[in-house]
Amino acid sequence: MSKIKIKDFNLFYDNFQGLKNINMNIEENKITAFIGPSGCGKSSLLKSINRMNDLVDSCVTNGNIYFDDKDIMKTDVTQLRKEIGMVFQNPNPFPMSIYNNIAYGPRTHGIKSKEELDKIVESSLRKAALYDEVKDSIHKSALKLSGGQQQRLCIARALAIEPEVLLLDEPTSALDPISTLKIEELLQSLKDDYTIVIVTHNMQQALRISDNTGFFLNGELIEFNETDKLFTFPENEKTENYITGRFG
């Protein structure tokens, strides 16, 4: 079943066209990876799904993106972002305690009861496989955590508002291999409950964790298929060149 449908989607920064006529369906409870060289538009598309591109003044889009068959441009943006969580390339915990980092989102959406918040914090940390590491320092500053822990905290923070979709923008590019592995395992375990879209530079990562993969080049979606098929029998020559390392 498709959770997100992208129809004839174009995106412009001033006069530069960043995305050209994108059509794709993102399936529920699957991990979808966007791959491609820098500047190919994969991150722009990801940020269009939760409308983070609204913040860029020069960015104009046309075409439609449907989330559960609702046009995202006609949905209240705060509600949309509550249902579609996002994790960024560099871990960006707020300079507050671990607890407050996670409670920030639920509080934003009106949850005030201490008991309820306690519960959410604990369950989010557990889901992000971070609870055991931080349970004794939950009221200490989040900035004291290591880079990998910070990124898992950011995932926990995103999960705390109970989204249906999780967008990840190169979430492991700033991390060491061990932290990367932990996050990949985490994503695998999360996909039963969430629809996950991940932008990655790392083809091995896409191959390891994703069910479907889209290959982008110069703003176009060149090929979109099941990950195994795309990597073993690419239909397009450009895809083949990219995954065999001839460019990018």
Partner 1 sequence: MDKIMKKLIYLVASLTFASLLGIVAYIVIKGLPNLSLDLFRFNYTTENMSLVPAMITTIIITIIALIISIPIGILTAIYLVEYANKNIIMKFISIAIDTLSGIPSIIYGLFGMIFFVTYLNLGFSILAGSFTLSIMVLPLIITTTRESLLTVSDSLRQGSLALGATKVRTIFKVVLPCALPGIFSGIILSIGRIFGESAALIYTAGTVAQIPENLFSSGRTLSVHMFALSTEGLHTDKAYGTAFVLMIIILLINFLSNQVIKKISKEK
Nearer to partner 1, 95 or 245 (CB): 95
Q: How far apart are CA 233 and CA 114, in angstroms?
A: 53
Nearer to partner 1, 10 or 90 (CB): 90
First to last CA, the chain: 32
CB of 81 to partner 1, least distance (A): 4
β-bridge pairing 2-13 and 16-27: antiparallel
CB of 58 to partner 1, least distance (A): 11
CB of 235 to partner 1, least distance (A): 34
Q: How far apart are CA 222 and CA 36, in angstroms?
A: 10
CB of 55 to partner 1, least distance (A): 7
Nearer to partner 1, 71 or 226 (CB): 71
Nearer to partner 1, 154 or 207 (CB): 154
User: Coil, helix or strand for 182?
Assistant: helix
The residue to which tokens 């291999």 are assigned: 177
Nearer to partner 1, 45 or 207 (CB): 45
Q: What count of residues does the chain have?
A: 248
Sheet holding 70-71, edge to edge: 16-27, 2-13, 59-67, 70-71
Q: By the criterion CB under 8 A, which residues form the site for partner 1?
A: 50, 52, 55, 57, 77-82, 85-86, 88, 90, 92-96, 104-105, 108-109, 154, 157-158, 161
Nearer to partner 1, 173 or 241 (CB): 173
Inter-CA distances, 13 with 7, 16, 56, 74, 176, Å: 19, 5, 9, 22, 33
CB of 159 to partner 1, least distance (A): 11
The residue to which tokens 């269009």 are assigned: 48
CB of 160 to partner 1, least distance (A): 8
